[in-house]
Chains A and B, each alone.
Chain A
Amino acid sequence: MRKNRLYILVIIAFVIGVGYSAFHKWSVDHVLYITGGVDHPIGCVSCHVYPERDGLLANMLNEDYLSPLNAAVSEDGSRLYVIAQDADLLIEVDLNSREVLSNTKVGRRPHSAILTRDQKTAVVTNQWANNIYFIDLKTKEITDSVPVGGGPAGMDLSVDGNLLYVANTYTNNISVVDLRTKQEIRRLHGGNYPTSVAASPNDDFVFVASQRTVPIEFRTEPMTEVTILNASSQRVSERKYFNSAHIMENVTVSPSGDMAVATMVRPKNNVPSAQIERGWMINHGIGVILKDGRTAQLLLDEPNAFYPDPYDIVIHPDGKRAYVSHSGVDMVSVVNLDRIRSLLADASEEELKLYANHLGMSGEFVVDRIKTGSNPKGLAMSADGKFVYVVERMEDRVSVIDTDVSEIVNTIDLGGPSRISYTRRGGQLFSNAGHTFHNQYSCYTCHPDGHEDGLTYDLTGSGRNLANVQTLRDLYGTAPFKWIGTNQSVYKQCGMRFSRFVTRTESFSPEDLDAVVAYIMRELTHPPNIHRLPNGALTEAQQRGKAIYERTVTNDGREIPEKDRCTTCHNGPNYSNFQMADVGTNKENEDESLFDSPNLNNIYESAPYLHDGSAATLEEIWTKFNDHDTHGYANDMTKDQLNDLVEYLKSLSAERYYKKDLNYKINKGQL
C-alpha cells in the first residue's frame, strides 16, 4: 500500500514536472512571439493584468485620476476653477488657502471653463457630450445646457460679455452663443479640429486655432488654419494658414491687441528622417499674427534641447511677457514679447522663413524656463499678472508661478489619488519626451489625445515606405500593429526598433515599456462617433451604405467574389479580420508588401487614408486608388452609392459606444 502511494506520488511529481516544463516552454515561446524576440523580461501580468480595462485585479491596480486640463481664475484672484477631464468635474479651489472647496459634476469629458463677466457663472464645454453647461458658482448647480457642435473645446467671451465663441473640435466649426438668450446664434466653419478661441480686447477680431492641417496634396507641407472672425458681424473675415505647422492647441491675444499668438508644432514629416540631430524630425514654437496681417513662426527649441508639445499660452497684463506650457517636457517658457515685436518689426519674408526653422532664435526672446510637475497643460493668469496657474495633468495638481521671480512658489493638490498606478506612470511617460533624443518629441506629439496627427512620415529616411500615423485609440485586441503588420504586440511596436527608428535614443526600460503599453491599451479610447445617432440607429443614407457594404452581388447582379467584399476583411466589432491583404495600394518605389486590414471604428477621424496617407478622403480610396477593384469591388457603384457607403463608413463604431452605458466613466474599464 505504502509502495503504491509512493509510486502515485512519484507519478504525480513527474506529471507536475513535465507539465510545468511544458508550460514554461510554451510561455517562453509565447512571450518571444509577443515581444518579437526582443529581450524583455515580460511577465504574465504585463499583458494579462495591467492593460485590462475591467476585472477585479485591473480595478484594484488602477485608480480613477482627475487629469485636470484647463483652468479659469476669478477676476478678484480668490478662486480657481479647474476642469478635471477624466473625472468629469469642475473643481473650485480657494487660492488663499490653496484648498479644494467643491467638486461639481459636469458633462462627459469636459475641456475648458470660462467665467462670465459678472463672475457669477462658469461655462464648461463638455467635449464628449457636444454641449456647454452653465454652472451657478454660488449654488454649484447646472442652470442651463446648450447644445453646440461636436466636441466643444476652447472658448472666449466677446468684449461686452454677451457672446460666447466655442471651438467645436470634431465638427470643425465655431458656435456663437448669445449668453443673454442661451441660444446658439451662428455656426461658422473653422479649420480642422479647432480647439481654442481668443477674442481681441479691441473688440475687432476673434481668433480660432486648430489642431490638424487642412486637407493638403499628398506629400506637401501641412497647413493649419487660424480662423479670424469679425467680432462685429460674427462672420469669418479671414483664414490664415500656418505652413508646416499644426497642433495649434491654444491661441491668445496681447492686451493691446497688437498680436495674436498661438502654440504650434512644426513637423518635418516630408523630410527623410535620416537623423534626429538638429531638429530634423519635429520642432516646437509659437505662431504669431501681427496687426498688419503678417504671420510669423518662431521656435522655442534650442539646437540641442527641445521643448515639445507647447500647449497653452497666456500673456501678462503688461503685454511684455508670455508664458507657454510645454506638456512634453514639464516646463514653462517665459517669452519676452517686446523682443519678438522688435525682431518681427522689419523682418523680410526671407527672414521670417528663416526664423521659422532657426533653433538658435529662441536665445533672443526666451528669457526663462521654469520646471513644472508632470504634463503641464492649461495656464491661467491672475488679473493683476502676479501669478500664473499651471495645470499639471498627470499630477492632479496646480502649480503657482510668481511672475516677479519666475519661480513656482506653491502647489495646489486637487485631491486625486496619491498612488501612482502602473497605468498612470505609463501616461506620464507617454506624454513626456524624455525618452526621445534631446527631448525632441513625445508619443503625444504624433498621437495627440491618443489619436494621430494626420501626417505621413518618412521614418526610413529613404524617401520610400512612408507611414501614415495610425490612431492609438482602442488598440486592445487589434493586433497585429504597424501597417505592414510586423508587430505582434504593442510591446514590440514600442520596443527596440522603435528606439532605433523613432526616438533614436535609449529604449524604454522593461518596466517603463510595460507601463506605456498598459496606458495605451487601457486608457486611450475613441470619443463617441458624431456620425452615429445617439440611439445607435442609422440614418437612411447610412442604411443604404450598409447594404452596399454588405452586398454580395454587383449592381448588374453578378456575384462578387468573397475576397472582394467589404465584409471579408472588415468584419467583427472592430471591422477588421486583422489579416494581411493586397489591396493594390503599394506604390512603385515601395517595397512590395501586404497590409494589415485596419480597424474602422471612428474611421472618419483619421484622414488621410491608406498606409501612406495618399488618399485625402474616404472617397479617394475608391475614386483614385482602386482602378482594378483590388480594394473591394467598387467600380460599378454610382456616385450616390459611393456617398452612401462613405456615410455608413463614417458611422462605424463599436456597439459599446452607443448602447446602454452612455455615461460610462473612462477609468472604470467599462469600455
Chain B
Amino acid sequence: MPRRFSSYKLFFIVLLLFGCSKDLPHEGKVIFTRLPVESVSGDRINSIENKYATNMEIAMAFMGEKPEHTEVLTRDFISARAPELSFDGSLLVFSGLKNEEGAWQIWTMDLKSGEIVQVTDSRTNCTDPAWLPNGDITFSKMVTDDHSLKYHALFTIGVDGCCEQRITFQPHEDINASVLHDGRILVASKQVYPESGPYKYLALRPDGTKAEVFHLAHATSGMMDKAFENNEKVFFHEADELTSVKFNRPLHSRERLLTGGQIQVNSIRSFDEQNLLLSLKKPDEKTFGLALLSVEDFSREKSYFSDPEYHILEATEVRERSVPRKLPSRVNSDMSSGYLFSMNADASDIEIEGKTAKVRVLGMNGIIGETAVEEDGSFYLELTSDLPVRFQTVDASGEILRGPSSWMWVRPDERRGCAGCHQDREIAPYNVVPKALESAPFVMIR
C-alpha cells in the first residue's frame, strides 16, 4: 500500500512538472527580416525609405541551417520587417504592409498558434516596434505637423490596440526605438526643423517624460539603427561601424569596434549576455548575413548564416529575456500643462560674457513668451504640455546670449528641471533652492 501511494505521488509530481514546464515554440531559432538582394543595394539598405521597401519578409531559421530551410512567417504580407520578440519569447511584434493602398501597421504574431493580430489602425506608416516592460508596444509613426513637415514620432499602444498615445513631440525624426534595462526607451532622433546636426540617441520614460540625450552620434554618421544593451554596454552601428558606449557613462565612452571599412554592419541585436547577433556584409560577400560574435572578442565569429539571394537583417533569437524595469508614470492626462524650471540659466558650458536677464520661449511659430529670470539665474515656467519649445537667454539689453536650445517638451503635469542652459550633462545640480520656485510658475500657455 505505501509503495502504491508513492507511485501515485510520483505520477502526480511528474504530471505537475510537465504541467509547469514552459513550452517555448521555436526556441533557439532566429527570426529575421530578409530582403531580396536585387531590390536594394547594400549601401542604401539602412535608410528611412527602405523601412517601407516592398518584398521584405520575416523569416525563421536555425543559425547553422542552410538558407533553403528558412521558414517565411509573413507570406500574407506585401512586405514585413522589424521583428521583435516579447520578453517571454512567445509573441512577435513587427511592422507590415498587408495591402497596397494601406499604410504599414504594427502587428503581432503568436509563435505557437501562428495567429496574426493587427495592433495599429493608422492612416500613416507605422514602423519599428519594440516591447515595453508592461507588455505595451512602442513604435514610430509618420506624422504631419502644422508646417506640413513629415517625420516619425514615437508612440505607445497596448497590445490589444488600445490607448495609443504619442510620446515625443519635437520636430524630429524619432525612429528605431529599443528599451534599456532601466525601463527607458532609447530612440534615434534627428532634428528636421530647422534641419540640424546628426542623429543622437535620446533616452526617455515610456510615458514620454524626462527625454534627455543619451549619446551624440559622430558628425559623419547617417541614420542610427536600434541600439542594444549587453554586458553594461550599449551597442549600435554608426557610419556602418559597430560602436559601443558604456551604459554608465554613454556620453564619454564611445568605442569603435570592427573598424577598418572591411565589414559593413547593419543591424545589431543582443543574443545573450556574452554574444551579439550582427547583420553584416563581409568584403567577399554579396549580401548581408548574420554573425554571432562574442562581446569579449569581436574577431571570433561563433557562427554565420547567410543567403546569396537575400540580405538578412534585424535578427532576434527565440528565447526568454529578462524584463526591464516597469517605470511608474507621473503624467496626469487630465491636465494640459507641465512645468519646467532651470536652476541657473547662466550655468553653461558655453562661456559668454553677460548675464541672463530674461528667458525667451520659442515655439514652432515663433516666440511664445519671455520672462525675467531671478537674480540667482533661476526661472520657473508652466508650459502647454506636448508642445515643442526651445529656449533663448537674453541679457538686459535684449541681446541673445545663448540659444535657441534643442527642442523639448513637457507632458501633462510633468515637472522637469535643468541645471543650466547647455550645461554639461554629467553635472548634478548644486544643492540650492532656486529662487524662482519660491513663487508660482510663470504661465506661458499658448
Residues of A within 8 A of B (CB): 219, 221-222, 244, 266-272, 274-275, 277-280, 283, 299, 302-305, 354, 357-360, 363, 437-438, 458, 461-464, 496, 499-501, 504-507, 589
Complex contacts, B343 vs chain A, CB 8 Å: 271
Complex contacts, A266 vs chain B, CB 8 Å: 428, 431
Identity of the chain A residue whose Cβ is nearest the Cβ of B330 in the assembled complex: A500
CB distance from A207 to the nearest CB of B (A): 24
Those of B204-232 within 8 Å (CB) of chain A: 210, 212
Using known A-B contacts A277-B212, A280-B417, A461-B415, determine if residue A271 contacts B438 with beta carbons closer than 8 Å: no
Using known A-B contacts A357-B427, A496-B328, A499-B328, determine if residue A363 contacts B415 with beta carbons closer than 8 Å: no
Using known A-B contacts A272-B437, A463-B437, A504-B328, determine if residue A357 contacts B425 with beta carbons closer than 8 Å: no
Contact A274 B328 (CB under 8 A): no
Contact B325 A505 (CB under 8 A): yes
Q: Does B20 sit within 8 A of A, measured CB to CB?
A: no
Interface of A is mostly: loop
Cα distance A274–B330 in the bound complex, in angstroms: 11
Q: Does B155 sit within 8 A of A, measured CB to CB?
A: no
Using known A-B contacts A302-B248, A304-B248, A462-B437, determine if residue A274 contacts B427 with beta carbons closer than 8 Å: no
Contact B427 A359 (CB under 8 A): yes
Bitwise, B408-431 to A at CB < 8 A (1) or not (0) is: 000000011101000011111111
CB distance from B107 to the nearest CB of A (A): 28
Complex contacts, A277 vs chain B, CB 8 Å: 210, 212
- Between-chain CB contacts (< 8 Å), 5 pairs: A272-B437, A304-B248, A357-B427, A462-B339, A505-B183
Contact A463 B416 (CB under 8 A): no
Interface residues on B, range: 35 or more
Contact A505 B433 (CB under 8 A): no
Q: Does B1 sit within 8 A of A, measured CB to CB?
A: no
Central interface residue in B212, B248, B416, B439, by most chain A CB within 10 Å: B248
Contact A357 B428 (CB under 8 A): yes
Bitwise, B321-339 to A at CB < 8 A (1) or not (0) is: 0000111111000000001
Contact B434 A506 (CB under 8 A): no
Identity of the chain A residue whose Cβ is nearest the Cβ of B328 in the assembled complex: A500
Contact B427 A463 (CB under 8 A): no
Cα distance A504–B209 in the bound complex, in angstroms: 12
Contact B431 A303 (CB under 8 A): no
Using known A-B contacts A244-B431, A278-B428, A499-B328, determine if residue A506 contacts B183 with beta carbons closer than 8 Å: yes
Identity of the chain B residue whose Cβ is nearest the Cβ of A243 in the assembled complex: B431
Contact A275 B426 (CB under 8 A): no
From A221, A507, A589, B431 is in contact (CB under 8 Å) with A221
Identity of the chain B residue whose Cβ is nearest the Cβ of A268 in the assembled complex: B431
Contact B183 A268 (CB under 8 A): no
Bitwise, B43-70 to A at CB < 8 A (1) or not (0) is: 0000000000000000000000000000
Segment touching A, from B31-39, B88-96, B249-257, B301-309 = B249-257
Complex contacts, A267 vs chain B, CB 8 Å: 431
Contact A283 B428 (CB under 8 A): yes
Q: Does B432 sit within 8 A of A, measured CB to CB?
A: yes
Cα distance A270–B437 in the bound complex, in angstroms: 11
Cα distance A267–B431 in the bound complex, in angstroms: 7
Those of B277-331 within 8 Å (CB) of chain A: 325-330
Cα distance A618–B271 in the bound complex, in angstroms: 60
Contact A359 B426 (CB under 8 A): yes
Contact B252 A363 (CB under 8 A): yes
Complex contacts, A500 vs chain B, CB 8 Å: 328-330
Complex contacts, A272 vs chain B, CB 8 Å: 341, 415, 417, 434, 437
Contact B417 A303 (CB under 8 A): no
Bitwise, B394-413 to A at CB < 8 A (1) or not (0) is: 00000000000000000000
Q: Does B76 sit within 8 A of A, measured CB to CB?
A: no
Contact B328 A505 (CB under 8 A): yes
Contact A280 B328 (CB under 8 A): no
Residues of B within 8 A of A (CB): 133, 182-183, 210, 212, 247-252, 325-330, 339, 341, 343, 380, 415-417, 419, 424-434, 437-439
Identity of the chain B residue whose Cβ is nearest the Cβ of A505 in the assembled complex: B325
Complex contacts, B424 vs chain A, CB 8 Å: 358, 360
Identity of the chain A residue whose Cβ is nearest the Cβ of B247 in the assembled complex: A304
Identity of the chain A residue whose Cβ is nearest the Cβ of B184 in the assembled complex: A277
Complex contacts, A271 vs chain B, CB 8 Å: 343, 417, 429-434
| Additional A-B contact list (15), CB under 8 Å, known A266-B431, A360-B426, A506-B327 | A221-B432, A244-B430, A244-B431, A271-B429, A271-B434, A302-B248, A303-B248, A303-B250, A304-B247, A357-B430, A358-B426, A359-B426, A359-B427, A360-B424, A462-B339
Nearest 3 CB-CB pairings of A with B:
A463-B437, A279-B428, A360-B426
CB distance from B311 to the nearest CB of A (A): 34
Contact B249 A363 (CB under 8 A): yes
Contact B327 A504 (CB under 8 A): yes
Complex contacts, A589 vs chain B, CB 8 Å: 438-439
Cα distance A505–B183 in the bound complex, in angstroms: 8
Contact A219 B433 (CB under 8 A): yes
Complex contacts, B419 vs chain A, CB 8 Å: 278
Contact B432 A270 (CB under 8 A): yes
CB distance from A151 to the nearest CB of B (A): 28
Complex contacts, B426 vs chain A, CB 8 Å: 278, 303, 358-360
Cα distance A244–B433 in the bound complex, in angstroms: 12
CB distance from B207 to the nearest CB of A (A): 11
Identity of the chain A residue whose Cβ is nearest the Cβ of B414 in the assembled complex: A274
Contact A278 B415 (CB under 8 A): no
Complex contacts, A461 vs chain B, CB 8 Å: 339, 415, 417
Identity of the chain B residue whose Cβ is nearest the Cβ of A222 in the assembled complex: B431
Cα distance A462–B380 in the bound complex, in angstroms: 10
Identity of the chain B residue whose Cβ is nearest the Cβ of A498 in the assembled complex: B328
Contact B250 A304 (CB under 8 A): yes
CB distance from A117 to the nearest CB of B (A): 42
Complex contacts, A305 vs chain B, CB 8 Å: 247-248
Identity of the chain B residue whose Cβ is nearest the Cβ of A305 in the assembled complex: B248
Identity of the chain A residue whose Cβ is nearest the Cβ of B251 in the assembled complex: A303
Complex contacts, B429 vs chain A, CB 8 Å: 268, 271, 279-280, 357
CB distance from A597 to the nearest CB of B (A): 28
Central interface residue in B326, B426, B431, B434, by most chain A CB within 10 Å: B431
Contact A506 B328 (CB under 8 A): yes
CB distance from B435 to the nearest CB of A (A): 10
Cα distance A464–B326 in the bound complex, in angstroms: 28
Central interface residue in B249, B419, B439, by most chain A CB within 10 Å: B249
CB distance from B47 to the nearest CB of A (A): 30
CB distance from A618 to the nearest CB of B (A): 24
Cα distance A565–B99 in the bound complex, in angstroms: 79
CB distance from B273 to the nearest CB of A (A): 15
Contact B252 A360 (CB under 8 A): yes
Complex contacts, B417 vs chain A, CB 8 Å: 271-272, 274-275, 280, 461
From B183, B415, B427, B431, A275 is in contact (CB under 8 Å) with B415
Complex contacts, A274 vs chain B, CB 8 Å: 339, 341, 415-417
Cα distance A358–B438 in the bound complex, in angstroms: 26
CB distance from A463 to the nearest CB of B (A): 3
Contact A278 B431 (CB under 8 A): no
Complex contacts, B328 vs chain A, CB 8 Å: 496, 499-500, 504-507
Cα distance A496–B330 in the bound complex, in angstroms: 11
CB distance from A448 to the nearest CB of B (A): 18
Cα distance A363–B252 in the bound complex, in angstroms: 10
Complex contacts, A219 vs chain B, CB 8 Å: 433
Cα distance A104–B326 in the bound complex, in angstroms: 47
Complex contacts, A358 vs chain B, CB 8 Å: 424, 426-428
Cα distance A275–B416 in the bound complex, in angstroms: 6
CB distance from A495 to the nearest CB of B (A): 11
Complex contacts, B438 vs chain A, CB 8 Å: 463, 589
Contact B341 A304 (CB under 8 A): no
Using known A-B contacts A303-B248, A303-B426, A305-B248, determine if residue A269 contacts B431 with beta carbons closer than 8 Å: yes
Cα distance A654–B380 in the bound complex, in angstroms: 46
Central interface residue in B133, B210, B328, B380, by most chain A CB within 10 Å: B328
Identity of the chain B residue whose Cβ is nearest the Cβ of A439 in the assembled complex: B182
Central interface residue in A266, A275, A500, by most chain B CB within 10 Å: A275
